[in-house]
Structure 1
Protein backbone atom coordinates (compact mmCIF):
# COMPACT_ATOMS: atom_id res chain seq x y z
CA UNK A 1 0.00 0.00 0.00
CA UNK A 2 1.30 3.41 -0.98
CA UNK A 3 1.77 6.08 1.62
CA UNK A 4 0.01 9.14 0.27
CA UNK A 5 1.03 12.36 1.89
CA UNK A 6 -1.25 15.27 1.42
CA UNK A 7 0.25 18.52 0.25
CA UNK A 8 -0.12 21.53 2.52
CA UNK A 9 -2.38 23.30 0.05
CA UNK A 10 -4.96 20.53 0.03
CA UNK A 11 -8.59 21.05 1.01
CA UNK A 12 -7.97 19.37 4.36
CA UNK A 13 -5.75 22.28 5.38
CA UNK A 14 -8.60 24.74 4.68
CA UNK A 15 -11.21 23.03 6.87
CA UNK A 16 -12.60 25.37 9.51
CA UNK A 17 -15.42 24.58 11.96
CA UNK A 18 -18.73 26.09 10.88
CA UNK A 19 -19.03 28.16 14.07
CA UNK A 20 -15.62 29.77 13.47
CA UNK A 21 -16.45 30.43 9.83
CA UNK A 22 -19.73 32.16 10.68
CA UNK A 23 -18.07 34.25 13.39
CA UNK A 24 -15.35 35.28 10.93
CA UNK A 25 -18.00 36.35 8.39
CA UNK A 26 -19.94 38.33 11.00
CA UNK A 27 -16.73 40.08 12.04
CA UNK A 28 -15.62 40.74 8.46
CA UNK A 29 -18.95 42.29 7.47
CA UNK A 30 -19.43 43.98 10.87
CA UNK A 31 -22.81 42.33 11.46
CA UNK A 32 -22.29 41.04 15.01
CA UNK A 33 -23.71 44.20 16.61
CA UNK A 34 -26.86 44.09 14.51
CA UNK A 35 -27.26 40.39 15.21
CA UNK A 36 -27.02 41.08 18.95
CA UNK A 37 -29.68 43.80 18.66
CA UNK A 38 -32.03 41.39 16.92
CA UNK A 39 -31.27 38.79 19.60
CA UNK A 40 -32.26 41.22 22.39
CA UNK A 41 -35.51 42.23 20.69
CA UNK A 42 -36.48 38.63 19.94
CA UNK A 43 -35.71 37.41 23.46
CA UNK A 44 -37.22 40.38 25.34
CA UNK A 45 -39.87 38.19 26.99
CA UNK A 46 -37.33 35.64 28.18
CA UNK A 47 -34.97 38.31 29.53
CA UNK A 48 -37.53 40.54 31.27
CA UNK A 49 -40.25 38.03 32.06
CA UNK A 50 -43.76 37.40 30.83
CA UNK A 51 -45.42 40.11 32.97
CA UNK A 52 -43.24 42.86 31.47
CA UNK A 53 -43.57 41.41 27.96
CA UNK A 54 -47.38 41.50 28.15
CA UNK A 55 -47.24 45.23 28.90
CA UNK A 56 -44.63 45.90 26.21
CA UNK A 57 -45.90 47.35 22.96
CA UNK A 58 -42.65 47.87 21.04
CA UNK A 59 -38.89 47.29 21.47
CA UNK A 60 -36.29 48.72 19.09
CA UNK A 61 -32.69 50.01 18.90
CA UNK A 62 -31.32 53.29 17.64
CA UNK A 63 -27.76 54.56 18.09
CA UNK A 64 -26.87 52.35 21.05
CA UNK A 65 -30.10 53.10 22.88
CA UNK A 66 -32.84 50.58 23.56
CA UNK A 67 -36.31 52.09 23.23
CA UNK A 68 -39.18 50.29 24.96
CA UNK A 69 -42.80 51.40 24.54
CA UNK A 70 -44.94 50.24 27.47
CA UNK A 71 -48.71 50.29 27.95
CA UNK A 72 -48.58 50.61 31.74
CA UNK A 73 -47.52 53.85 33.42
CA UNK A 74 -46.75 52.25 36.81
CA UNK A 75 -44.55 49.65 35.12
CA UNK A 76 -42.85 52.38 33.09
CA UNK A 77 -42.05 54.29 36.30
CA UNK A 78 -40.78 51.16 38.04
CA UNK A 79 -38.52 50.19 35.14
CA UNK A 80 -37.34 53.79 34.77
CA UNK A 81 -36.10 53.69 38.36
CA UNK A 82 -34.15 50.50 37.58
CA UNK A 83 -33.05 51.27 34.01
CA UNK A 84 -29.33 50.81 34.71
CA UNK A 85 -30.08 47.33 36.09
CA UNK A 86 -32.19 46.55 32.99
CA UNK A 87 -29.27 47.61 30.76
CA UNK A 88 -26.85 45.46 32.80
CA UNK A 89 -29.11 42.39 32.56
CA UNK A 90 -29.46 42.78 28.78
CA UNK A 91 -25.74 43.43 28.25
CA UNK A 92 -24.91 40.35 30.32
CA UNK A 93 -27.31 38.30 28.16
CA UNK A 94 -25.59 39.45 24.97
CA UNK A 95 -22.08 39.21 26.39
CA UNK A 96 -20.93 42.68 25.41
CA UNK A 97 -21.62 46.34 26.18
CA UNK A 98 -24.34 46.78 23.56
CA UNK A 99 -26.74 49.14 25.33
CA UNK A 100 -25.57 52.50 26.65
CA UNK A 101 -29.05 53.68 27.68
CA UNK A 102 -32.60 52.38 28.00
CA UNK A 103 -35.46 54.75 27.16
CA UNK A 104 -38.97 53.89 28.29
CA UNK A 105 -41.74 55.44 26.21
Structure 2
Protein backbone atom coordinates (compact mmCIF):
# COMPACT_ATOMS: atom_id res chain seq x y z
CA UNK A 1 0.00 0.00 0.00
CA UNK A 2 1.48 3.40 -0.93
CA UNK A 3 2.54 5.62 1.89
CA UNK A 4 -0.18 8.02 3.02
CA UNK A 5 -3.01 5.93 1.65
CA UNK A 6 -5.32 4.02 3.89
CA UNK A 7 -7.64 1.19 3.09
CA UNK A 8 -10.17 0.22 5.70
CA UNK A 9 -11.05 -3.45 5.98
CA UNK A 10 -14.74 -4.29 5.86
CA UNK A 11 -14.76 -5.60 9.45
CA UNK A 12 -13.40 -2.35 10.85
CA UNK A 13 -15.67 0.37 12.15
CA UNK A 14 -15.35 4.10 12.51
CA UNK A 15 -14.26 5.55 15.83
CA UNK A 16 -17.71 7.08 16.26
CA UNK A 17 -19.37 3.70 15.71
CA UNK A 18 -16.97 2.06 18.16
CA UNK A 19 -17.72 4.70 20.80
CA UNK A 20 -21.48 4.30 20.30
CA UNK A 21 -21.13 0.51 20.60
CA UNK A 22 -19.11 0.91 23.81
CA UNK A 23 -21.66 3.34 25.29
CA UNK A 24 -24.50 0.95 24.52
CA UNK A 25 -22.61 -2.13 25.73
CA UNK A 26 -21.75 -0.45 29.04
CA UNK A 27 -25.34 0.71 29.57
CA UNK A 28 -24.35 4.38 29.55
CA UNK A 29 -26.93 5.60 27.00
CA UNK A 30 -29.68 6.44 29.55
CA UNK A 31 -27.30 8.51 31.70
CA UNK A 32 -26.01 10.33 28.63
CA UNK A 33 -29.58 11.21 27.63
CA UNK A 34 -30.31 12.40 31.18
CA UNK A 35 -27.14 14.52 31.12
CA UNK A 36 -28.17 16.03 27.78
CA UNK A 37 -31.62 16.93 29.16
CA UNK A 38 -30.00 18.55 32.20
CA UNK A 39 -27.50 20.45 30.06
CA UNK A 40 -30.29 21.77 27.82
CA UNK A 41 -32.99 22.19 30.46
CA UNK A 42 -33.12 25.99 30.15
CA UNK A 43 -33.58 25.72 26.36
CA UNK A 44 -36.30 23.10 26.83
CA UNK A 45 -38.41 24.87 29.50
CA UNK A 46 -37.19 28.46 29.53
CA UNK A 47 -35.10 30.47 31.96
CA UNK A 48 -37.77 31.04 34.63
CA UNK A 49 -38.77 27.39 34.98
CA UNK A 50 -35.15 26.22 34.85
CA UNK A 51 -34.26 28.66 37.63
CA UNK A 52 -36.89 27.09 39.91
CA UNK A 53 -36.04 23.47 39.08
CA UNK A 54 -34.38 21.86 42.09
CA UNK A 55 -33.86 18.39 40.66
CA UNK A 56 -34.57 16.31 37.60
CA UNK A 57 -33.85 12.71 36.79
CA UNK A 58 -34.69 10.29 34.01
CA UNK A 59 -35.14 6.60 34.72
CA UNK A 60 -36.69 4.18 32.22
CA UNK A 61 -38.43 6.98 30.30
CA UNK A 62 -39.86 8.47 33.51
CA UNK A 63 -38.81 12.08 34.04
CA UNK A 64 -38.99 13.12 37.69
CA UNK A 65 -38.95 16.84 38.50
CA UNK A 66 -38.82 18.85 41.71
CA UNK A 67 -39.48 22.59 41.89
CA UNK A 68 -39.01 25.19 44.63
CA UNK A 69 -42.29 26.96 43.90
CA UNK A 70 -45.77 25.53 44.59
CA UNK A 71 -47.48 27.60 41.89
CA UNK A 72 -44.92 26.51 39.30
CA UNK A 73 -45.29 22.91 40.44
CA UNK A 74 -49.04 23.17 39.82
CA UNK A 75 -48.53 24.84 36.44
CA UNK A 76 -46.05 22.18 35.35
CA UNK A 77 -48.43 19.40 36.37
CA UNK A 78 -50.82 20.75 33.72
CA UNK A 79 -48.04 20.98 31.13
CA UNK A 80 -46.71 17.41 31.41
CA UNK A 81 -47.89 16.36 27.93
CA UNK A 82 -46.36 19.41 26.27
CA UNK A 83 -43.09 18.88 28.14
CA UNK A 84 -42.90 15.24 27.03
CA UNK A 85 -43.65 16.29 23.47
CA UNK A 86 -40.92 18.98 23.52
CA UNK A 87 -38.28 16.59 24.86
CA UNK A 88 -39.22 13.75 22.52
CA UNK A 89 -39.24 16.10 19.51
CA UNK A 90 -35.83 17.42 20.50
CA UNK A 91 -34.38 13.89 20.50
CA UNK A 92 -36.37 12.69 17.51
CA UNK A 93 -37.69 9.66 19.39
CA UNK A 94 -39.56 8.76 22.56
CA UNK A 95 -37.23 9.53 25.45
CA UNK A 96 -39.91 10.38 28.02
CA UNK A 97 -43.26 8.62 28.37
CA UNK A 98 -44.11 9.78 31.90
CA UNK A 99 -43.50 12.95 33.93
CA UNK A 100 -43.66 12.89 37.72
CA UNK A 101 -43.62 16.16 39.66
CA UNK A 102 -42.68 15.98 43.32
Unaligned runs of 5+ in 2: none
The match for 1:12 is: 8
Unaligned runs of 5+ in 1: none
Higher CA-based Rg: 1
The CA RMSD over aligned residues, in Å, is 2.4
Could you list the runs of 4 or more consecutive aligned residues of structure 1 that deviate by over 3 angstroms after TM superposition? Answer: none
Say if 2:23 and 2:29, in contact at 8 Å, map to a contact too: yes
The match for 1:83 is: 80
TM-score by length of 1: 0.75
Give the match's secondary structure for 2:8.
helix
Change (3 A) 1:41 1:66: same
Which piece of structure 1 moves more, 77-86 or 62-71?
62-71
Say if 1:65 and 1:100, in contact at 8 Å, map to a contact too: yes
Partner Cα distance (1:54, 1:70) in 2: 9
Q: CA deviation at 1:26?
A: 2.0
Could you tell me which of 53, 59, 71 is aligned with 1:56?
A: 53
- The reply to whether residue 47 of structure 1 matches residue 32 of structure 2 is no
Q: CA deviation at 1:51?
A: 0.8
Partner Cα distance (1:70, 1:28) in 2: 34
TM-score by length of 2: 0.77
